[in-house]
Amino acid sequence: MEIGRVLDWIFPRFCLRCKSEGSSWCQSCAITFSPRPAEACCAFCHASGPQTCKDCRSETFLDGLTSVAPYGNAVVREALTNWKYHADPETGKAIDLWIRQSVGVRDRSLFPSDATITFLPLHASRRRHRGFDQAEEVARSLASAIGTSHQSLLKRTTATASQARRSASERRVGDLDGIFETVGPVPESVIVCDDVCTSGATIDAAAEALKKAGAKRVWGFVVAQGSRP
């Protein structure tokens, strides 16, 4: 008997959505479930509209944010957690599909042809622990959906706690400025990817580094946006 089947017998897996036994994301849910699209809003104060609002613009660097689904969606949130911390390939495939579906219904002006797609890298120690970088996988999926490639433009110089696990009172835009450095030449238009945007502090720190290195427009793309419920 294959080791995978033995492990499935000892530790049975259940679908994150319908709870049927056999896999973490069953074929039925893969066919029928698509998360409700997130409403376009400012990455920092959640004012309506995809661009960073005029009140936040003077204190931040990110020009706007596109997200696939709200972080309040329990299925999406659990899928991201299962994928990020357990590297589950079945939920990874589901997230890839959600990204492709989202790109298919979004205004193509959000993904300009001259933009370079990059990602918020994990610190080297955390990447070694997890074995993969979820933000890079989001960038890979987005690039494939658009028909381009992704490029590494950033290096994380400081290991930080997960923003998604911090309370709203603990998260402040600007707290993480300086944790990224750019790698190589930086183009004028960049789309920077991550799995989740909560306060906007991490992705704005990346936008700051990119703009200081020459970028004129930095847009964000994430799977889920919003604070923990």
User: pLDDT, tens digit, for every residue of 33-84?
Assistant: 999 888 899 999 999 998 999 999 999 999 999 999 999 999 999 999 999 8
pTM, two decimals, is: 0.87
pLDDT at 169: 43
Asked if 88 and 103 sit in the same domain, the reply is yes
Asked if 146 and 68 sit in the same domain, the reply is yes
pLDDT at 173: 58
Asked if 2 and 96 sit in the same domain, the reply is no
Asked if 84 and 161 sit in the same domain, the reply is yes
Q: How many residues does the chain have?
A: 229
User: pLDDT, tens digit, for every residue of 174-195?
Assistant: 557 678 999 999 999 999 999 9
Give the angle subtended at the CA of 17 by the CAs of 68 and 42, to the nearest 5°.
20
Contacts (Cβ under 8 Å, ≥6 apart) of 38? 67, 68, 69, 70, 224, 225, 226
Number of folded domains that form the chain: 2
Asked if 112 and 219 sit in the same domain, the reply is yes
Asked if 46 and 150 sit in the same domain, the reply is yes
Asked if 55 and 22 sit in the same domain, the reply is no
pLDDT at 7 over 50: no
pLDDT at 174: 52
> For 81, how many CA atoms within 13 A lie in the half-sphere containing its CB?
12
Asked if 73 and 154 sit in the same domain, the reply is yes
pLDDT at 134: 94
Confidence band for 161, pLDDT divided at 50, 70 and 90: low
Between the two ends of the chain, the Cα-to-Cα distance in Å is 42
Structural domain containing residue 91: 34-225
